[in-house]
Amino acid sequence: MLAPIVKLVRAYDAVEWEIFISEWQTGLQGYHAVKRLGGPGDLGRDVIGLCSSDGCQGLWDTYQCKHYEKALGLPRACEDAGKIIFHAFRQEFTPPRRCSFVAPKGPDTALRDMLLNPAKFRTEVIATWNTRVAGKVVEGEKHLLTGALAAYVDAYDFTSFTYATLDEILDDHRRTAYWASRFGGQLPPPNPGHTPAAVAPEETVYVGKLLEVYSEQTGVPIARVDDLSAHAQWGDDLQKQRVRFYDAEAFMATYRDQTEPGTIESFADQILDAIDPAIALARSAHGRLSTALSAAGQASPASVLAAQAKIRVKQGVCHQLANADRVTWKV
């Protein structure tokens, strides 16, 4: 599934790549705010993640977005690292906690090895500052590595420079609400449901409605789950319905933070729309339940979730709706 997505992302232009990186960090919801600054006057900052309202005077991270045909090389990384260090020296901002290089084809071998060995990266930046960095930090000016600037660069924390691979970025991005809309609904499979042996308190409402169905079918009052011990057929049926419920719960939990707000709610609403006309025609509680499960299983919601919604999940939504008192079986 990821191969065509990798090809698509590598075809982005520089602006779209910055937007994509901004989505990645915004969607992970770990920052007070995420800003895209790339362009003239950005002081070497492309996308930044702010940890507080103090902005770049507090704790913050920067993502250096480098969208090239080839892997990011050491000369350009030294230049970009130099810009960040220089403007921190000028007190335009506090040194970022992390400066991560993000390029679709990653860093080349030389740069990767340098970033994994901060002492060597420091030596490389310092040794090449006057040729790679000095004339790039401020347009029309040249800032050679001497005096206070040299001392500042030598003392700078080079462990803050790192990189992220495209695989790592995509693995994170797919957990955000931006994934489905950007990549046409190619969502990862949902987590499986896990049905506890005993009925949990949060199941009380829909299970109670199922007991009403079983009471109607057996002709005797069934007020508690334990009462089903004398009715093996319906005890087995209850367990099947609980599995459906928990599969639906896991499905919704999987995609709650991976899709746009309202997506899972819309999915449930469309299941309700599918079953409502059908159950209105049924007379018995069991007939209404059976009709609802059948209609839900055949429903095709217009949703990015549809491709991952197996029949049992859609049927489980019926029990979620019953649990929320949006449908009932006995009338």
Residue 19's domain comprises 2-182
Residue 1: pLDDT band (50, 70, 90) is very low
pLDDT single digits (tens) 29-62: 789 999 999 777 889 899 999 999 999 999 999 9
CATH code: domain of residue 44: 3.40.91
Give residue 107's pLDDT.
96
Per the domain annotation, does 263 fall within a domain?
yes
Average pLDDT on 261-277 reads: 95
Q: Are residues 169 and 241 in the same domain?
A: no
Q: How many domains does the chain have?
A: 2
243 within 8 A of 195, measured Cβ to Cβ = yes
Average pLDDT on 230-241 reads: 96
Residue 186's H or E segment, with its range, is none
Amino acid 218 reads T
d(CA 45, CA 304): 34
- Helix (H/G/I), strand (E/B), else coil: 101: strand
Q: Are residues 158 and 18 in the same domain?
A: yes
Residue 290 has pLDDT above 50, yes or no: yes
Q: Are residues 254 and 144 in the same domain?
A: no
Per the domain annotation, does 330 fall within a domain?
no
Average pLDDT on 109-135 reads: 97
pLDDT single digits (tens) 146-192: 999 999 999 999 999 999 999 999 989 988 878 877 886 567 788 89
Residue 214's H or E segment, with its range, is helix 204-218
217: tokens are 């079918």
On the CB side of 256, CA atoms within 13 Å amount to 8
Q: Are residues 166 and 233 in the same domain?
A: no
CB atoms within 10 A of CB 9: 20
Q: Are residues 243 and 301 in the same domain?
A: yes
Q: Are residues 34 and 157 in the same domain?
A: yes
Torsion 296-297-298-304 (CA) sign: positive
Per the domain annotation, does 317 fall within a domain?
yes
